Structure 1
Amino acid sequence: MTADLNGRSVIVTGAGSGIGRAAALAFSGLGDRVVVADLNADGADAVVKEIEQAGGTALAVTGDLSEQAVVDRVTATAVEQFGGVDVLVNNAGIMDSMSAVADVSDHEWERVLRVNLTAPFMLTRAVLPHMLAAGRGAIVNTASEASLRGSAAGAAYTASKHGVVGLTKSLAVMYRRQGIRTNAVCPGGTATAIAVDADRTAHGPAVLAPHFVNLGRMAQPEEQAAVILFLASEAAGNINGAILPVDDGWSAV
């Protein structure tokens, strides 16, 4: 992977912490130039500093990726500063409150879908012209265990991550002849800072709780990042449209 990734222009969203941070550091460690995109300015700046202290190149772009202006700024930074977009990692996401459908507010539904599904769509749409012009590109989306089943999260998060799978497969079919590959990782339990604000006595969390017995070993963010790097590499050159669980076998139970 070292040879074919070296020097590419890479965008990683949600790169201020967790899986995104681990991916940004890993890409940089291979010599790639990374746009660190995150809502949290302090987190994004800290990751850029880590990369620069290790001798790498990175730039932070902060803002809400569900806003078109932020999407445009992320894309423009990669194109103007690094010469294009070779790899896009749509990783940013938020959790829901594990609510069942009858208990989901309009605000929760719209916010979770906006961040988890609409934002990746918008950023992908923005970078595609640059990948098409280059005749190549790799897109890796962070889906979820909740994209494979109905028992790993609430209604809003589950719907959003199922949508990410559909988006991934559509992109894989639509653009494979143009040299663009799109795949998704489906993390199981991973040690990140993503917050779950759930009322355990509510219907949704009460129903879901027994399904977490078979969760398996908690992964480290670096383990998820390693799979993202692989899917973005030429070693995965014939992998397109794959939805890959990285969950210690949780999805096989």
Structure 2
Amino acid sequence: MADSVCEQGGQAKWLVVDLAKARAIFAFVEEITAEGEHLFGRAGYNAGINRRGPFIDLSEEDWHITFTVNLDAIFHMCRAVLPHMIAQGEGAIVNTASQWGLHPAPGHIAYNTSKTAVAATTHHKLYVLTPCVPANRIPRARKQPGA
């Protein structure tokens, strides 16, 4: 995706960060901002883990890693980028939720619940963030069979 943005004259970088570790998220943001570039005009977050199976078979580890990546990482990423956005007087945060967070699918309890929390967290941010940093969520559409 970064290559495509650059080919069209935009600026983008492909970077890897371990979203299961808060320290890695904060270090990632500090690394980017240390370069002195105006990179946080928009921060998009699109990552997710979907451990499938019946509720009774879901392990505690599956539950925790799903929430760590799908929800906790949003908390840490927003906490890391917001000071930079507020200081520069602009920015936008877009979190990708899921329609399954609003209309749960069977066999996806951890994913459904974590994405419900993403939608609620982002909705709450709409009310509490400064006017220069709007937040919104994009429920991802599920592909229909044959589409």
Classify the TM-score, shorter chain.
0.7 to 0.9
Whether the 8 Å contact between 2:55 and 2:109 is mirrored in structure 1 is: yes
Aligned to 1:237: none
Q: Does 1:109 align with 2:63?
A: yes
**Structure with the bigger percentage of strand:** 1
Deviations 1:14-51 (A, max 9, x none): xxxxxxx3xxxxxxxxxxxxxxxxxxxxxxxxx44x54
Whether the 8 Å contact between 2:26 and 2:76 is mirrored in structure 1 is: no
- Alignment RMSD, CA only? 2.2
**Pairs within 5 Å for 1:172-251:** 172-175=126-129, 177-190=130-143, 215=144, 218=147
CA–CA distance in structure 2, aligned partners of residues 96 and 105 of structure 1:
9
Aligned to 2:38: 83
Partner of residue 134 from structure 1, selected from 78, 88, 91: 88
CA–CA distance in structure 2, aligned partners of residues 76 and 106 of structure 1:
32
Q: CA deviation at 1:74?
A: 2.5
Alpha carbons of structure 1 residues 86 and 152: separation in structure 2 relative to 1, 3 Å: farther
Normalised by the size of structure 2, how large is the TM-score? 0.85
CA–CA distance in structure 2, aligned partners of residues 167 and 153 of structure 1:
23
Deviations 1:193-226 (A, max 9, x none): xxxxxxxxxxxxxxxxxxxxxx4774xxxxxxxx
Aligned to 1:202: none
- Give the letter aligned to residue 91 of structure 1: N
Q: Does 1:165 align with 2:119?
A: yes
Deviations 1:38-86 (A, max 9, x none): xxxxxxxxx44x5445554333321311212321233124323323511
Task: Give the gaps of 5 or more residues in structure 2.
Answer: none
Aligned to 1:238: none
CA–CA distance in structure 1, aligned partners of residues 133 and 96 of structure 2:
17
Task: Give the gaps of 5 or more residues in structure 1.
Answer: 1-20, 22-46, 191-214, 219-253
Q: Which runs of 4+ in 1 moved over 6 A?
A: none
Q: CA deviation at 1:116?
A: 0.6
- Give the letter aligned to residue 15 of structure 2: V
Whether the 8 Å contact between 1:132 and 1:178 is mirrored in structure 2 is: no
Number of residue pairs the alignment of both structures matches: 146
State the secondary structure of the residue aligned to 2:69: helix
- Give the letter aligned to residue 172 of structure 1: L
Quick one: percent identity of the two aligned structures?
Answer: 29
Larger-gyration structure (1/2): 1
